[in-house]
Amino acid sequence: MILFVVAYLAGVLTIVSPCILPVLPFVFARAGQPFSTSILPMLLAKIVTFAGIASLAALGGNWAVQANAFGRYAAIVLLAVFGVTLLSTRAAAFVTGPLVALGSRLSRKVATEEKGSVGGAILLGVATGLLWAPCAGPVLGLVLTGAALNGANVQTTLLLTAYAAGTATSLALAVLAGARVFAVMKRFLGVGDRIRQGLGVAVLTGVAAIALGLDTGLLARLSYAGTTGFEQAILDQLRGNAAPVDVAGTRLPLAAKDGRQAAFRSDLPVEGTLPSLDGAVQWLNSKPLTPAELRGKVVLVDFWTYSCINCIRTIPYVRAWAEKYRDQGLVVIGVHTPEFAFEKQIENVEKAVRDFKIGYPVAIDNNFAIWRAFSNSYWPAHYFIDGEGQIRYTHFGEGDYEGSERVIQDLLAEAAGKQKAENEFVTPNAKGAEASPDLARLGSGETYIGYARAANFVSPEGVSADTAQRYTIAEPRLNEWGLTGNWTVGAEQASLNEAGGGITYRFRARDLHLVLGPRAGGKPVPFQVTVDGMPPGADHGSDIDAAGKGTVTETRLYQLVRQSGEARERTFEIRFLKPGAEAFVFTFG
Topology at the third CATH level for domain 251-434: Glutaredoxin (3.40.30)
Angle, alpha carbons 282-286-292 (nearest 5°):
95
User: Can you give the pLDDT at residue 354?
Assistant: 96
List the chain domain ranges.
2-230, 251-434, 439-588
Q: How many CB atoms lie within 10 A of CB 477?
A: 15
Residue 586 and residue 512 in contact, taking contact as beta carbons nearer than 8 Å: yes
Residue 434's pLDDT is what?
92
Q: What is the pLDDT of residue 513?
A: 97
Q: How many CA atoms lie within 13 A of 206 on its CB side?
A: 32
Of 52, 143, 54, 60, give the one whose Cα is nearest residue 451. 60
Q: Show the CA angle centred on residue 206, arms to residues 463 and 472, nearest 5°.
A: 25
pLDDT value of residue 159: 73
Q: What is the pLDDT of residue 43?
A: 78
pTM above 0.85, yes or no: no
pLDDT value for 388: 94
pLDDT confidence of residue 70? 56
Rounded to whole angstroms, the Cα distance separating 386 from 299 reads 7
pLDDT along the chain (589 residues), means of 10: 68 60 61 71 78 59 47 60 59 50 42 52 70 51 52 67 79 70 51 56 63 48 46 48 32 37 76 94 96 95 95 96 95 96 94 96 96 93 96 94 94 85 84 90 94 93 94 94 97 96 97 94 93 97 97 96 93 97 96
Sheet holding 330-336, edge to edge: 272-273, 390-396, 381-385, 298-304, 330-336, 362-364, 282-284
Nearest-angstrom CA–CA distance, 408 and 392: 10
* CA dist., res. 3 & res. 161, Å (int): 12
The confidence score (pLDDT) of residue 35 equals: 72
Contact 229, 400 (CB under 8 A): no
> What pLDDT does residue 121 have?
73
* Class in CATH terms, 439-588: mainly beta
Q: Which of 369, 367, 391 is nearest to 291 (CA)?
A: 391
